[in-house]
Structure 1
């Protein structure tokens, strides 16, 4: 299974919006934050807006906002918004495939792969990915030391100012 750049960029853009949902974010800002080509991201946002996954706001305070509750937007829905069907073989859906002879059982495998991908991608929300990213950023952020806090090594002795 190959995930298109368009689907990857769409998911990353929505996660960026979900992580910072206080104010609208510009397409330029999202492209920069996620290292996505700006011109390509503009076309991705067109598809996301058409699907109702983002809303645009004009003006000097304008930009994009997430269109719905990020907990209700699955990765599978985002991928379908920008790419169409989740899995196709030569442009056909797995449930329409019929093979002759010894390969007759192969469409069942493709349907199983599609169901597994749908289960994982459909069961993962944009909000979950944003929360996971925030936890990962927090885990890698430098720690500050205040009186009475633990040291990074887990030493329970308080830090006493000199």
Structure 2
């Protein structure tokens, strides 16, 4: 699985916005705080705005706000907002992948990997990360522990 820079930057921007919801933040402030290239962040925030994960306010008091409560935004939402499909094979979704024998079982493995990743990412919210983070659970448990 490949996590794109775009997805990483989007998650970090949303976590930064969740830290203080009393005022909008500019892209400059987010980029500086998270050490993200400003030009790249600007396009990422544009995608987040188009998908409703952030909203913008113009003017001298303007900037960006979360588009919905941080408790309602999962990492899965973030990755899908900026990258589309969670896992692809040569750029194609896994849903209709089929192989001839003896490799016919392989697509089910790829889909299981995608389902497991979606379950983990769906369980971690921007709010939980803004409060203190998350760490993987012990090997074999397939989850994450949210730290408060």
TM range (shorter): 0.7 to 0.9
* Pair 1:36 & 2:55 matched: no
* Pair 1:4 & 2:13 matched: no
Q: Which has the higher strand share?
A: 2
Task: Write out per-residue CA displacement over residues 36-70 of structure 1, whole angstroms, 9 at most, x where no aligned residue.
Answer: 00000000011000011101111111110111000
Task: Write out per-residue CA displacement over residues 113-160 of structure 1, whole angstroms, 9 at most, x where no aligned residue.
Answer: 000000000111100110115xxxxxxxxxxxxxxxxxxxxxxxxxxx
* Pair 1:100 & 2:95 matched: no
Q: What's 1:46 paired with?
A: 46
* TM-score (normalised: structure 2): 0.88
Alignment: residue pair count:
133
Correspondence list, 1:105-120, <5 A: 105-120=105-120
For residue 100 of structure 1, report the CA deviation from its aligned partner: 1.2
Measured in 2, the distance between the counterparts of 1:84 and 1:69 equals 21
Q: Which has the higher helix share?
A: 1
Equivalent position SS for 2:65: strand
Measured in 1, the distance between the counterparts of 2:76 and 2:108 equals 21
Equivalent position SS for 2:89: coil
For residue 102 of structure 1, report the CA deviation from its aligned partner: 1.7
Measured in 2, the distance between the counterparts of 1:103 and 1:88 equals 18
Larger radius of gyration: 1
For residue 27 of structure 1, report the CA deviation from its aligned partner: 0.2
